[in-house]
Amino acid sequence: MKFLLSKPALEMITETAHIRDSRNYGSFPDVVQRAFVACDEISIAVGYIGVNSVTHLIGLVERNRVHSSVNVYVGMPLGKSTRVAAEQLDKLLQRRGLGRVYETTMEFHGKVYLFKDNGRPIIATVGSSNLTGIVKSHPRLEVDIQIDDQQTLTACESIFHDLVIPISVPVGESNERSHKQTASTEDLAEDTLQGMFSELVSKIDEEELAEVRLAIMGDKTFIHRFRCSEKQTASNLNKFFSVGRKSKRKDGTEVEIPRPWYEVEAILPEAEREDPNAPPNLFTVVTDDGHVFEMGRRGDYDKNLESRHNLQVFGYWVKRKLEDSGVLKPGDLITDATLAAYGNENLKLTPIDDNSGRWYMDFSPSNQDD
């Protein structure tokens, strides 16, 4: 038996002197992703999902035509953004003739992942990880058990047939259930900027944010124009569409693990890099909605403007603005038309005159130039 841990839990295990044999432990997202592209039939039943994890599944299915069946069962209430993501995945699965995304008519809080190949169960996991746990940026400590023996795998398969499937309906097809879910809860706290990156992101209250806005030095504003031309479909805001990590299945078929949906960086052209108002190579931002995190400039000629320690912090902040406004759906390409519909194509960075060395970062739709 092997215990599968989330990234934070694995890091704790390796730092704990009481644990003598790390061979008993593995990475939950690594195991699940490998099994997803190695097997042709996938059944996943969880309590909660998240936009990042659902979009990751979208990328896995779109880039790897190796599946005959993929079905996802969601047992707990869907928030607005997660419902949009679930419907995107559902459309893809239907279009490929693979399966559906389902909601349960009774609340289901289990977490069972079952992977089959040629009709035979190969591997399963049971534990604490919701679908949010399949991405390495998942912030919580999770423990799951990897199952390989045939008797227990058969029991896992029965969980789907005897318990989950009988109480499941395709996402959005039960009006009563859908209304209840949307009205009863918001997205999980972990599916927020602070929730996903609690060690990297803090937030100030409205009173302090108002003081920051009064202290910005408007005559020193730096403006970066997001560019989403056809030549940049795999960079800048659209790194999700660039080539991911590749490997081969046992049959020799090449498969690809996509980059995280929220991985983003802003590529500064020469004119912007030479702007006297350009930000330094390391600085802290206060965003227009009160989030605080570190940004920096890296790469050749310091052209890559990105969040420090994790590219997804900046990416989550930018993309969730587009998603929440309704102009971007998870898994879709950001184009100039997307930004036009949002009402802004410019990221503004302005020094804050409060002796903190911080910068005010603004990407609100009201910033669209006249």
pLDDT digits (tens, 9 = 90+) for 94-153: 999 999 999 999 999 999 999 999 999 999 999 999 999 998 877 788 999 999 999 999
Q: Looking at residue 188, what is its pLDDT?
A: 57
User: Comparing 17-21, 80-84, 159-163, which segment has the lowest mean pLDDT?
Assistant: 17-21
Residue 368 has pLDDT above 60, yes or no: no
Q: Looking at residue 208, what is its pLDDT?
A: 94
Q: What percent of the chain lies above the pLDDT cut of 70?
A: 90
Q: Which tokens sit at 195?
A: 């929730």
Q: Looking at residue 29, what is its pLDDT?
A: 92
pTM for the structure as a whole: 0.88
Going by pLDDT thresholds of 50, 70 and 90, the confidence category of residue 185 is very low
Q: Looking at residue 248, what is its pLDDT?
A: 86
Q: Which tokens sit at 301?
A: 């000629």
The Cα–Cα gap between 83 and 171 comes to 8
Which of 317, 291, 304, 284 is CA-nearest to residue 235? 304
128-131 long-range Cβ contacts below 8 angstroms, 24+ apart: 129/4, 129/6, 129/28, 129/46, 130/46, 130/47, 130/48, 130/49, 130/50, 130/188, 131/44, 131/46, 131/48, 131/49, 131/50, 131/53, 131/54, 131/57, 131/72, 131/74
Task: Judge whether 225 and 346 are in contact, CB under 8 Å.
Answer: yes
User: Comparing 64-68, 99-103, 245-249, 286-290, which segment has the lowest mean pLDDT?
Assistant: 245-249
Q: Looking at residue 25, what is its pLDDT?
A: 86
Q: What domains are defined for the chain?
A: 2-184 (3.30.870.10), 193-367 (no CATH)
pLDDT digits (tens, 9 = 90+) for 233-275: 666 899 999 888 888 888 888 999 999 999 999 999 999 999 9
pLDDT, the chain, mean: 89
Going by pLDDT thresholds of 50, 70 and 90, the confidence category of residue 183 is very low
Going by pLDDT thresholds of 50, 70 and 90, the confidence category of residue 20 is low
Residue 12 has pLDDT above 90, yes or no: no
Q: Looking at residue 230, what is its pLDDT?
A: 62
Q: How many CA atoms lie within 13 A of 189 on its CB side?
A: 4
Q: Looking at residue 118, what is its pLDDT?
A: 92
Q: Which tokens sit at 226?
A: 């997001």
